[in-house]
């Protein structure tokens, strides 16, 4: 039990639609990262937020955006969904901004785009 | 460009024996390495980590070895137990000067412990 929760657990959308995924971090965790895990692959870094500001981004287009809120929750928004966006989306939080801090993952949201 | 590689997609080990999972990396700027375990329908769970200033870190049945010159790390589990059956991911992180805590993951190794 990592104390990181995500909603919804599963979601089905059609191509072109928009989706919002949510994550609730452990209290006091001021850094949250989002990852995309395609089938048979390892998680791929989308972006990270620290104290409500984006702090690093992976090779994902601008239609992937995020927000972090003062209450340790965060959102991942994806616009103009494509079939290849079908994946497991994971959020991970850590206590403080430090490169040796462990990131704790939520259970993920499985998104299917038809 | 796969900077972290786990070349064995699967591994089967008898219960009680040693499980050895391997990971190679190409980016010499990686400074911190972690192993995560993942069960189906759950997120990755942190197992053990190692800083680049060390060559070994031990935690109970789990030991991680780092060979910086070979850019190779391994996770040893001894003795292996049925509950260890899961997918294991190796992950790496750049040093503190790079400004964020992005983890770069390998593709995972599915470990099956045979009773």
pLDDT in tens, A26-35: 777 888 999 9
Of the candidates A36, A99, A10, A60, the residue with the CA atom closest to the CA atom of residue B41: A10
> Is the pLDDT score of A64 beyond 80?
yes
Q: What are the angstrom distances between the C-alpha of B70 and each of A51, B5, B75? A: 37, 13, 15
Report residues of chain B scoring pLDDT below 50. none
Number of continuous H segments (helices) and E segments (strands) in chain B: 0, 11
- The CA angle B75-A46-A24, to the nearest 5 degrees, is 85
CB within 8 Å: A105 and B36: yes
Which residue among A40, A58, A108 sits closest to B43, beta carbon to beta carbon? A108
> What residue ranges in A8-106 does DSSP mark as E strands?
10-13, 19-24, 31-37, 44-50, 53-57, 64-68, 73-78, 87-94, 104-105
Nearest to B100 among A2, A56, A92 (CB): A56
**Which residues in chain B are closer than 8 Å to A105, comparing Cβ atoms?**
36, 43-46
CA closest to B89 among chain A residues = A42
Q: What is the pLDDT of residue B96?
A: 66
Which residue's entry shows tokens 């998104």? Answer: A111
Q: Which residue of B has its CA nearest to A107?
A: B43
């Amino acid at each position: 039990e990592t104390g990181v929760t995500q909603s919804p657990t599963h979601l089905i959308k059609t191509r072109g639609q928009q989706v919002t995924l949510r994550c609730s971090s452990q209290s006091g965790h001021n850094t949250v990262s989002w990852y995309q895990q395609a089938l048979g692959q390892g998680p791929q870094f989308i972006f990270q937020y620290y104290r409500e500001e984006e702090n690093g981004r992976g090779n994902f287009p601008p239609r992937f955006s995020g927000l972090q809120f003062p209450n340790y929750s965060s959102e991942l928004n994806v616009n103009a969904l494509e079939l290849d966006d079908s994946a497991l989306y994971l959020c991970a939080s850590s206590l403080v901004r430090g490169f040796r801090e462990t990131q704790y993952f939520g259970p993920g949201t499985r998104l299917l785009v038809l | 460009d796969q900077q972290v590689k786990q070349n064995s997609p699967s591994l089967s080990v008898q219960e009680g024996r040693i499980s050895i999972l391997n990971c190679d990396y190409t980016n010499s700027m990686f400074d911190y390495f972690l192993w995560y375990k993942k069960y189906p329908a759950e997120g990755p769970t942190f197992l053990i980590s190692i800083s680049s200033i060390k060559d070994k870190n031990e935690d109970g049945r789990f030991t991680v070895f780092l060979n910086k010159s070979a850019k190779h790390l391994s996770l040893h589990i001894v003795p292996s137990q049925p509950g260890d059956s899961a997918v294991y991911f190796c992950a790496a992180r750049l040093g503190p000067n790079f400004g964020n805590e992005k983890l770069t993951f390998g593709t995972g190794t599915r470990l099956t412990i045979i009773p």
